[in-house]
Structure 1
Amino acid sequence: MTRTSIQGEEVVTMTITGQDTDAIRALRALEDGRSSVRLRAALAVGTAPDPRFVGTLVERCAIEPEFFVRDMLTWALTRHPVATTLPRLIREVGSERSQARSQALHTLSKIGDRQAWPVITRALLADADDEVARSAWRAAVVLVPDGEEPALAAALATQLGRGGRETQLSLSRALVALGEVIAPPVRAATAAPEPHVRAHALATQRLLRDPDAGFGYAIEEAKRAVALGGSGQGDDGAC
């Protein structure tokens, strides 16, 4: 930064350094039509973090079509000060664009700062978009404060039976990550009137008992148990 005087008034002039020029070039490259160029640009911005560029990174997350580039953008954001990234990401969770919400939640889960917990609402956990909901589930289990786990488990259990296999696997993993506090709401879901809800709840129970069990096997076994009219819980009835 240099200072000059014009007719007695001091004027502050910003001097653009070589590092600034490189960063500006990288930000422009984030809009390149080639995904490999955008990937390198995100890596460059994260390697030399600058709070001035957080807004651009967040905005790019909302429209970037390639998963691996979005993941690098998330990494770049985690390299910046939390005080700068957190407010911007929290605002983005309220965006009308589903990808913006999903990616902001994903980034919040990677940052892991519990100041973001209030943004994880019941409405967000039940978002109509599966990708947003999955990101919200993952973020919730990372950000949940001590003592709030049972309430979170109850909220997540309301989503049992939702979506296809990948969505159901994401929910089961989120529930299992909470541990034994999920037992009451998941056990209650095994008595739900909907067969797909009961099957998903039973598969989640089995994953909690045996985390090494494959979800595919667990869900197929649970579906067979439901089809036969049994609880699938064995003699112990425990989750």
Structure 2
Amino acid sequence: MTTTPPATNAARALRALEDSSPTVRLRAALAVGTAPDPCFVGKLVERCAVEPEFFVRDMLTWALVRHPVDLTLPGLLREVRSDRAQARSQALHTLSKLGDRRAWPEITPALLADPDDEVARSAWRAAAVLVPEGEQPSLAAVLVTQLGRGERRTRLSLSQALVALGDAAVPALRAAEAAADPRVRAHALATTALSRDPDAGFGPAIEEAKRVVALDGAPGTDDEDRADR
């Protein structure tokens, strides 16, 4: 009986990560994470930047987390500075899973305001995980500049990041509740409500916040204006 040499197995797994079948790529990422080896790290990072399937990307991140952080961190930090939005987003997602605060200096204000919503959402989550003790108020001050941005999923991600900062986010949120932009005010109020009662859900919190803002005499949102016609 013959056995396949380990080097051959590794080469086969690396090729499978680029297979045309998502199922084959998923199984390859699972295999690589199950038997970590330094030779896989570069390819895993590379695939994260281009993998089109969400469930495969999630497995790639799992496989990376299974490797020693000293091997994965340098490549991930390079990807955070990539011109490719998916590379930035997935690297940030993986860094949030690693939780190694050596990555914190890469979470810049520019990244937290990235024009790509997926990158920004990943940056907010990573920042809430990686922020050093004592830096939470400064982070909250940057995060509130993004209030009112994007669709519901984006707004929820930002609220969750602010809620994760706890009391450190309260002064920044209170200031935002008096903003001129009604979208910012409503988002700030909803975030405060969510922090007080996480079980209430973001949807009801944002609707109540919109109602409060409307009662204060603020202009309605486009949806509200259409409903009034």
Q: Same fold (TM over 0.5)?
A: yes
Q: Does 1:135 align with 2:151?
A: no
Aligned CA-pair RMSD: 1.2
Per-residue deviation, residues 138-185 of structure 1 (Å, max 9, x unmatched): 000111111111111111111110101000000000000110111111
CA distance in 1, matches of 2:109, 2:132: 15
User: Given the alignment, which residue of 101, 116, 121 partners 1:114?
Assistant: 101
Say which one has the larger Rg: 1
Contact 1:92 1:101 in 2 (8 A): yes
CA apart distance, 1:18: 1.7
**Residues 1-239 of structure 1 aligned to structure 2 (within 5 Å):** 18-229=5-216
SS at match of 1:212: helix
Kindly provide the amino acid, as one letter, of the partner of residue 57 in structure 1.
L
After TM superposition, the runs of 4+ consecutive aligned structure 1 residues lying more than 2 A away are none
Contact 1:35 1:69 in 2 (8 A): yes
Kindly provide the amino acid, as one letter, of the partner of residue 229 in structure 1.
D
More strand by share: 1
CA apart distance, 1:31: 1.1
More helix by share: 2
CA apart distance, 1:34: 1.1
CA distance in 1, matches of 2:217, 2:37: 58
Structure 1 residue runs of 5 or longer lacking an equivalent are 1-16, 232-239
Structure 2 residue runs of 5 or longer lacking an equivalent are 219-229
CA apart distance, 1:219: 0.3
CA apart distance, 1:23: 1.7
Identity of aligned residues (%): 76
**Paired residues, number:** 215
Kindly provide the amino acid, as one letter, of the partner of residue 153 in structure 2.
E
CA apart distance, 1:230: 6.9
TM-score when normalising by structure 1: 0.88
Contact 1:23 1:44 in 2 (8 A): no
SS at match of 2:146: coil
Kindly provide the amino acid, as one letter, of the partner of residue 75 in structure 2.
R
